[in-house]
Structure 1
Amino acid sequence: MVAQLIRLKARLLANSFRRSPWQLVGVILGAAYGLFLAVMLIIGMVGLGSQEPELVRTVLVCAVSAVVLGWAIVPVLFSGADATLDPARFSTFPVPRRELTAGLLLTGFIGTPGAVTLVLFVAAAAAWRQSGPAALTAVVAGALGALFCLALARLTTTAALALTSKRRFREVATVLVFIPLVALGPILGGLQAGISAVFDVLPHVADVLAWTPLGVFAALPGDVLAGEWATGGARLLLALAYLAVVVWAWSVLLMRSLQNPVQASGGSKGSLGLGMLAWFPATPWGAIAGRSLTYWFKDPRYAAGIVVVPLLPFILWYASSQTPTPYMVYAAAPLMAVMMGFSISADISYDSTAFSLHVTTAVRGVHDRAGRALACGVLALPLVMAAAIVPPLVIGRPGDVVALAGLTVGALLSALGVASVASARWTYAVVQPGENPFKSPPGAGARAALTQLATMGVAFLLLIPEIALVITYFVTDRALFAWLALAVGLAAGSVLLTVGIRVGGRWIDTRMPELMQAVTLNK
């Protein structure tokens, strides 16, 4: 049965490649990146092997501890990222507990994260090459450590199943993933300032981690090299006990979750009245705008796509504070505008089977495009304009507001126009409603990345006139060019948005059956 589950995982992956060549391209690119990363780290471990054994032990124990901790935390936040062999699908099959546990655990190595972790942990033997017994111990301990990572990830995700099934938890997790980006600069600056103190503390930290589940496997080769057989034996027994307890605990929780499956919760309650539909006129485009704006506030997939947008001013503000000219923060507003406008490029794909409402009611394509663009604009315009107005006022250059506002408005309108065309012409597999926003569905990957990159690239190219005028304003410091940038941004952006809505609407009218088929298949 274990071998059958492994073959099943491999077959499912192979079938997904046959279904979509872009999926295969994405996996190849991911594997190439993982291989490159592995080669670089292996080269680093070969170089580390020429250092003192104490330093080798400290570095490996701390590094492996960080990886193990990542395996425990990241899969919970990104729950559902790999649903190729979902344990819930075995609830109706009488598979023995032992075989199911072992099979699902070992299938974790069929995939880039598990395979790269196994290779890197085993390759740690290169750092212990000065001793044959220590290197052999590193190979065995590395394989056990990689298995422990997979078991720990399964345990934490299964234990958190009741939370990850709730939409509100997924929304909070989405924010938590990106909020540390704001503090990343100060954190790195603090580490750089106290780097010597960190190195003084690391050996003591490694001594503690070597007895915990995080670093016990990485510490075994050092005991063999030092000839501390009693300590090494005790640590080996402790490591095996950690592995056995984690696997046993996961198997118990797995059986309970299969017998009493947790129902996914949308996290929303009924509301009185029309909600956001009442904010817009009783017209086709008004109804679509109200429905789309409701998605923006209640669908975590939209939040996952733009949660980093409000953080851009803070990130660029810190980056500009480290340079002599504190104007890097000016780039936040146009970048936010392009990202917000681009965010509706997958609206039709996100609709999934709900797009049938447009088909059965014969909604005109121009109304669909206008409604979706209006909903995004209502949410995005106050946000991006605040990012365009506040930084110049804080820096003490209020005259820059006009130029920056022109560039920002032009960026938002142009990006909405380009996205209105792109989403009507190209669809791709996206996360389905109610699923984790970080899940990678079959058929996604390279095709989605190329489509998104091309859409954003075109949006930036269309901003060349506004960018040129803004640069001229900063070089000459003449207010005329700032007002010209504002006028061109409003005029060119409005024209591009109108053209995008009309062209995208025409494509929807002529391709509505194909679009309905595409969003039905993109699951």
Structure 2
Amino acid sequence: MTTAAPAPAPVAGAGAAPTASAAVLTRTLAGLKLALLRNGLKQSSGRKAVWITSIVLTALFAALQLLGLIALRGNDHAATFTVLLAVLWAFGWAVMPLFFPAGDETMDPSRLVMLPLRPAPLMVALLTAALIGIGPGFTVVLFVGSAIATAHGAAAVAVAVLAVPLALLICVALSRAVTTANVRLLTSRRGRDLALLSGIVIAVGAQFVNLGLNRLSKAGGLEALQPVADVVRWIPPGSALDAVRAASEGQYGLAAAELALSAAVLAALMTWWQQGLTKIMTAPDASTIGAAAPERKRGGRAGRDGAAADHRPAGLAGLLPDTRTGAVMLRSLRYAWRDPKTKASWVSGLAAGALVPFVNAVQGSGSVWLALFAATMLGLQMYNQFGQDGPAFWMVLQTLGTAREAYAELRARTLALALIALPYITLIVTTTAWLLGKWQQWAEVMGVSLALLGGLFATGALTSVLAPYSIPQDSGFKNVAPGQASIAWLGMLGSVVGAALCAPLLGLVIALHVTDTHDLLWTVLPLGAAYGLLVTWAGLRVAAPKALARLPEILTAVTKA
């Protein structure tokens, strides 16, 4: 008597493998999310303290928001605020994962590609996991408060019971769909760039939010937003919350239409998300395909055949001099464009230098002298020049054999900064003077800005030589290697000296104002430019021989990370 041979085991991912049911998969991923949170708290007491503190602060802030929304109850324009709040909050749900891709390990579906999972059960499980955390809890509080602010009557309460979870699901589904569609980007170098630039986006957004709140705090602020709300109320999840307002006013047909629109958008988001999941789970990763471009192959053959080639860079970079100065300038500019940490430093300096004078000018409480903040932020980019090179500084070290070469190196780095700083400072000072209508102060502010920039360049070169430190490239937002924080702070003290170096120009401005000789204030501009050049030249001359004598110490300091 023969027995049947056992059936071969199904191959994972080939369509014959048994797939987990939605209930089992949901319990697994929800448990995984809780385990990740729990295990993260066990790593250190410091992390546990930060986690508990964040929960407490978030709960307090959520309570204040809830009380504020409840206080809007009965206001004629309460629905205007709640609708705009819902749409802005959904935008935050869509954008923030792009800047914090590592904040939730369950947001990367590419980690599950080797498992025999179908998109539909996986969507349910990932959606459930996304509802666990501080963010969803805070969102629920906001939407519940918005519903309380606009719900009047039993019908409105019934609509709110549907609108609040519907709005929450739209936010979560939108976040997951956007993250899935950009998962390849978030795991690349550009994704790391986005993560590093997140703080800048938050800072810029906070300034606009602050400006908007100041406008809303004035009389008639909410009424001025009514035309915008009339359009935004048809954008989910704003439409879901506006359905509560419509039900309170007896517009039951409108409430039903807005709920139906929100449900349709949620279904569309789920469909988009499912398509993204299917592509991630089935498509090959392009990063594993190592085919070289035909153009590169032809270029390589041409080089091997000895064909003449022009090695000068194309575009604007080709305008730089074909000397050591041009090469160093090009290298510095490429660091600013390609290196994530250097790029984050540059963008933060450019953004902060513009926000401070512009926001104050728009609010009507600014001064043209606030444009000095732009010169300060750009001048600070000169500090820790060799730390930006990191371990690659050893190649620079090999080219520095004399004080003259060290001076040329520092001068070229300064010129690369000035290539961006000078037009930027001119733009900020000019725009601030235009916004405030104080053109008579343009020349004096511009002259002092150039003197301040020169002082910061000079002290930046010196501190780069005397107090260099390493910048970690793989440690998130940390810009100083462990054990070198005191060196970084010591170096930044040089900025105080750099600011003090422009005291002669400030003294001249004060003297001209006190003696009522305003017709001579224009002289501050050429004097400031000449003084800035002189101070920069003196700082580089002093720093060059010190750099040559301290090359081993600088290399050791910048390679500690």
Output the CA distance in 2 between the equivalents of 1:330 and 1:389.
Answer: 11
Output the CA distance in 2 between the equivalents of 1:470 and 1:35.
Answer: 51
Output the CA distance in 2 between the equivalents of 1:453 and 1:403.
Answer: 27
Task: Confirm whether residue 91 of structure 1 aligns to residue 133 of structure 2.
Answer: no
Q: Which amino acid counterpart does residue 272 of structure 2 have in structure 1? A: A
* Mapped contact 2:468–2:488 kept (Cα < 8 A): no
Indicate how the Cα distance of structure 1 residues 245 and 310 shifts in structure 2: closer, same or farther if over 3 A, else same: closer
* Mapped contact 2:147–2:241 kept (Cα < 8 A): no
Q: Which amino acid counterpart does residue 105 of structure 2 have in structure 1? A: T
* Mapped contact 1:133–1:225 kept (Cα < 8 A): yes
1:466 aligns with: 501
* Mapped contact 1:91–1:259 kept (Cα < 8 A): yes
| Aligned 1:172-321 pairs, distance under 5 A | 199=223, 202=226, 206=229, 209-226=232-249, 231-261=254-284, 263=286, 273=311, 275=313, 291-299=331-339, 302-307=342-347, 309-310=349-350, 315=355, 318=358, 319=360
Number of equivalent positions: 484
Task: Confirm whether residue 9 of structure 1 aligns to residue 9 of structure 2.
Answer: no
Alignment match of 2:126 (pick from 80, 104, 125) = 104
| Aligned 1:34-73 pairs, distance under 5 A | 34-35=58-59, 37-49=61-73, 51-52=74-75, 55-72=77-94
Q: CA deviation at 1:409?
A: 1.6
1:405 aligns with: 450
Please report the TM-score for the alignment, with normalisation by the length of structure 2.
Answer: 0.64
Output the CA distance in 2 between the equivalents of 1:5 and 1:372.
Answer: 55
Q: Deviations 1:272-310 (Å, cap 9, x if unpaired)? A: 63758997878xx99887655433344465434323545
Give unmatched runs, 5+ long, in structure 1.
431-440, 519-523
Output the CA distance in 2 between the equivalents of 1:19 and 1:501.
Answer: 44
1:383 aligns with: 420
Please report the TM-score for the alignment, with normalisation by the length of structure 1.
Answer: 0.68
2:18 aligns with: none
Q: CA deviation at 1:218?
A: 0.9
1:336 aligns with: 378
Q: Which amino acid counterpart does residue 122 of structure 2 have in structure 1? A: L
Q: CA deviation at 1:489?
A: 6.2
Indicate how the Cα distance of structure 1 residues 216 and 67 shifts in structure 2: closer, same or farther if over 3 A, else same: same
Give unmatched runs, 5+ long, in structure 2.
1-24, 300-309, 434-438, 514-522
Output the CA distance in 2 between the equivalents of 1:343 and 1:465.
Answer: 20
Aligned to 1:94, the other structure's residue is in SS state: coil
Output the CA distance in 2 between the equivalents of 1:337 and 1:125.
Answer: 49
Indicate how the Cα distance of structure 1 residues 179 and 445 shifts in structure 2: closer, same or farther if over 3 A, else same: closer
* Mapped contact 1:418–1:459 kept (Cα < 8 A): yes
Aligned to 1:327, the other structure's residue is in SS state: helix
Aligned to 1:307, the other structure's residue is in SS state: helix
Q: Which amino acid counterpart does residue 336 of structure 1 have in structure 2? A: L
Decide which structure has the larger Cα Rg and report it: 2
Q: CA deviation at 1:114?
A: 3.9
Q: CA deviation at 1:48?
A: 0.8
Q: CA deviation at 1:149?
A: 0.6
* Mapped contact 2:400–2:548 kept (Cα < 8 A): yes
Output the CA distance in 2 between the equivalents of 1:238 and 1:500.
Answer: 66
* Mapped contact 2:350–2:374 kept (Cα < 8 A): no
Indicate how the Cα distance of structure 1 residues 484 and 226 shifts in structure 2: closer, same or farther if over 3 A, else same: closer
Larger relative contact order (CA 8 Å, sep ≥ 6):
1
Aligned to 1:273, the other structure's residue is in SS state: coil
Indicate how the Cα distance of structure 1 residues 257 and 311 shifts in structure 2: closer, same or farther if over 3 A, else same: same
- Which has the larger share of helix? 1
Output the CA distance in 2 between the equivalents of 1:443 and 1:324.
Answer: 33
* Bigger mean CA offset, 109-118 vs 405-414: 109-118
Q: CA deviation at 1:189?
A: 13
* Mapped contact 1:38–1:119 kept (Cα < 8 A): yes
Q: CA deviation at 1:506?
A: 1.0
* Bigger mean CA offset, 172-181 vs 152-161: 172-181
Output the CA distance in 1 between the equivalents of 2:48 and 2:399.
Answer: 33
* Bigger mean CA offset, 496-505 vs 246-255: 496-505
Q: CA deviation at 1:258?
A: 2.5
* Mapped contact 1:414–1:494 kept (Cα < 8 A): no
Q: CA deviation at 1:9?
A: 3.4
* Mapped contact 1:38–1:120 kept (Cα < 8 A): yes
Q: CA deviation at 1:23?
A: 6.6
Q: CA deviation at 1:57?
A: 2.7
* Mapped contact 1:347–1:423 kept (Cα < 8 A): no
Indicate how the Cα distance of structure 1 residues 124 and 190 shifts in structure 2: closer, same or farther if over 3 A, else same: closer
Q: Deviations 1:327-353 (Å, cap 9, x if unpaired)? A: 332342233211x225858636xx6xx
1:153 aligns with: 175
The share of aligned pairs that are identical, in percent, is 19
Output the CA distance in 1 between the equivalents of 2:137 and 2:455.
Answer: 46
Q: Deviations 1:364-415 (Å, cap 9, x if unpaired)? A: 7999x99996665332123334456785997577576665433212213434
Q: Which amino acid counterpart does residue 460 of structure 1 have in structure 2? A: S
Indicate how the Cα distance of structure 1 residues 232 and 4 shifts in structure 2: closer, same or farther if over 3 A, else same: same
Task: Confirm whether residue 80 of structure 1 aligns to residue 121 of structure 2.
Answer: no
| Aligned 1:353-432 pairs, distance under 5 A | 355=391, 376-386=413-423, 391=429, 395=440, 403-415=448-460, 417-418=462-463, 424-425=469-470, 427=472, 429-430=474-475
Output the CA distance in 2 between the equivalents of 1:258 and 1:24.
Answer: 35
Output the CA distance in 2 between the equivalents of 1:158 and 1:471.
Answer: 55
Indicate how the Cα distance of structure 1 residues 258 and 374 shifts in structure 2: closer, same or farther if over 3 A, else same: farther
* Mapped contact 1:407–1:466 kept (Cα < 8 A): yes
Q: CA deviation at 1:178?
A: 9.9
Q: Deviations 1:225-244 (Å, cap 9, x if unpaired)? A: 44555554554444333323
Q: CA deviation at 1:253?
A: 1.8
Output the CA distance in 2 between the equivalents of 1:20 and 1:417.
Answer: 39
Q: CA deviation at 1:45?
A: 0.6
Indicate how the Cα distance of structure 1 residues 37 and 222 shifts in structure 2: closer, same or farther if over 3 A, else same: same
Aligned to 1:62, the other structure's residue is in SS state: helix
Indicate how the Cα distance of structure 1 residues 100 and 444 shifts in structure 2: closer, same or farther if over 3 A, else same: farther
* Bigger mean CA offset, 249-258 vs 79-88: 79-88
Aligned to 2:500, the other structure's residue is in SS state: helix
* Mapped contact 2:123–2:274 kept (Cα < 8 A): yes
